[in-house]
């Protein structure tokens, strides 16, 4: 499948800031499940800085913008060919050992309820892969998809207690429940194209990857009750949503900041 992406992120500042510095994880991952045909990231008025591939195999690119800045637009446009690998991350090069992803963060710290969810779901599983599927399904049952029910700083434990959330909450809860059972798990950011079934999701999407002995990293999208397939484009990964954010940065100056994000994903006729 060939997917086109148009992703616009607009920052507006109440008071013009002296400058902005950002780091981007906006470049599609290099692995057997996708091939980048064209890709361009533009920062209006921005100066491209240094870039590097981190230990997780993700490309991190720096940008800076000299002020005064009242509005900043980051534009991503490109075309990616995807292949359905049943969620497996084949051919992806990274140097961080899977055990590093057993580390808890504030967003993914499992409480008693999350640990119990993982324990009950995986009880009686045939093998680690079956256990991972069961935990993902349990998270999908426990947290209903409800846009606006949570916010950017909602933790996995809070989302589970509330019983509602979005893809970020599903991913955090799955990561927490899996780690509580000793399975390395991480957060993945990317894109998802809606299919004919119009499953509920955000086009700027997120899911989890669990490390399965003998298979490696396998993706699980609890929000849509599936594993990533040809509709998904993978950008990068991290311990949680903050760590894997496509755009991170700081603005030098006082006043508040507002954010507007628009993402369009389409399939190209082949």
Q: How far apart are CA 189 and CA 32, in angstroms?
A: 17
The Cα angle at residue 12 between residues 169 and 3, in degrees rounded to 5: 55
- pLDDT digit string (tens) for 166-193? 999 999 999 999 999 999 999 999 999 9
Query: So where are the chain's domains?
Result: 2-81+246-268, 84-238
Task: Render pLDDT for 45-92 as a digit per residue (tens, 0 to 9).
Answer: 999 999 999 999 999 999 999 989 999 999 999 999 999 999 999 999
| Residue that is written with structure tokens 């899911």 in the block | 207
Backbone angles phi, psi at 70, to 5 degrees: -100, -30
What CATH number does the domain located at 84-238 have? 3.10.620.30
Domain at 2-81+246-268: CATH architecture: Sandwich (2.60)
Check: CB of residue 187 under 8 Å from CB of residue 239: yes
| The pLDDT of residue 151 is above 80 | yes
- The enclosing H or E element of 265 equals strand 257-268
| Sequence-separated (6 or more) residues with CB below 8 Å from residue 83 | 1, 32, 33, 34, 35, 230
């Amino acid at each position: 499948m060939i997917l086109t992406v148009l992703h616009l992120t607009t920052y507006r500042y109440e008071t013009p800031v002296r400058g902005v510095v950002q780091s981007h994880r906006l470049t599609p991952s290099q692995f057997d499940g996708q091939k980048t045909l064209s890709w361009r990231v533009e920062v209006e008025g921005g100066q491209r800085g240094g870039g590097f591939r981190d230990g997780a195999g993700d490309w991190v690119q720096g940008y800076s913008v000299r002020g005064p800045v009242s509005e900043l637009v980051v534009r991503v446009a490109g075309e990616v060919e995807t292949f359905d690998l049943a969620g497996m991350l084949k051919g992806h090069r990274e140097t961080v050992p899977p055990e590093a992803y057993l580390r808890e963060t504030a967003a993914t710290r499992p409480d008693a309820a999350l640990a119990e969810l993982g324990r009950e779901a995986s009880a009686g599983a045939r093998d680690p892969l079956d256990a991972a599927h069961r935990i993902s399904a349990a998270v999908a049952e426990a947290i209903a998809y409800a846009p606006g029910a949570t916010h950017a700083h909602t933790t996995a434990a809070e989302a589970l207690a509330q019983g509602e959330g979005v893809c970020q909450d599903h991913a955090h809860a799955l990561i927490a429940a899996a780690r509580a059972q000793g399975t390395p798990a991480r957060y993945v950011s990317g894109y998802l194209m809606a299919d004919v079934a119009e499953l509920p999701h955000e086009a700027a999407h997120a899911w989890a990857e669990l490390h399965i002995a003998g298979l490696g990293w396998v993706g699980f999208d609890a929000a849509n009750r599936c594993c990533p397939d040809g509709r998904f484009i993978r950008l990068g990964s991290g311990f949680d949503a903050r760590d894997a954010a496509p755009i991170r940065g700081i603005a030098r100056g006082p006043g508040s900041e507002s954010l507007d994000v628009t993402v369009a994903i389409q399939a190209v006729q082949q």
